[in-house]
């Protein structure tokens, strides 16, 4: 599977946090931090916007690194992605992503 497909099926290549990291774009980091702060109701600073991809060795946002329940579960189960998990169609954690993102579902099914 494409290494930029996250455990949940989201495409890290299209994530603005990854783009900001790879291009060292502080203005984009500010934009992402502001948007994510508003969407999540928590303070996210531009310094937190550093990530190379969910399944790639290297920098991660604090959420992706240690708080994402989907990433934690897949790593504990030693799965490449949630696509290989027998529970993926009934998983509440994964359902939060797949219920709103057909591309992520297709990435896991592909």
pLDDT in tens, 50-93: 999 999 999 999 999 999 999 999 999 999 999 999 999 999 99
Listed by start position, the domains of the chain span 12-109
Name which of 20-24, 31-35, 62-66 the model is least confident about: 62-66
* Lookup: tokens for 66: 């240690």
Residue found under tokens 């990291």: 21
pTM for the structure as a whole: 0.89
Q: How far apart are the C-alpha atoms of 4 and 85, rounded to whole Å?
A: 18
Residue 27: is its pLDDT beyond 90? yes
Q: What is the DSSP letter of 11?
A: B
């Amino acid at each position: 599977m494409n290494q930029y497909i996250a455990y949940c099926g989201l495409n890290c290549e299209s994530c603005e946090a990854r783009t900001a990291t790879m291009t060292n774009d502080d203005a984009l980091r500010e934009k992402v931090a502001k948007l994510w702060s508003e969407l999540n109701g928590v303070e996210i600073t531009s310094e937190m916007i550093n990530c190379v991809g969910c399944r790639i060795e290297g920098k991660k946002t604090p959420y992706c690194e240690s708080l994402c329940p989907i990433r934690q579960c897949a790593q504990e189960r030693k799965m490449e992605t949630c696509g290989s998990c027998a529970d993926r169609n009934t998983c509440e954690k994964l359902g939060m992503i797949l219920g709103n993102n057909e591309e992520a579902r297709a990435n896991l099914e592909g």
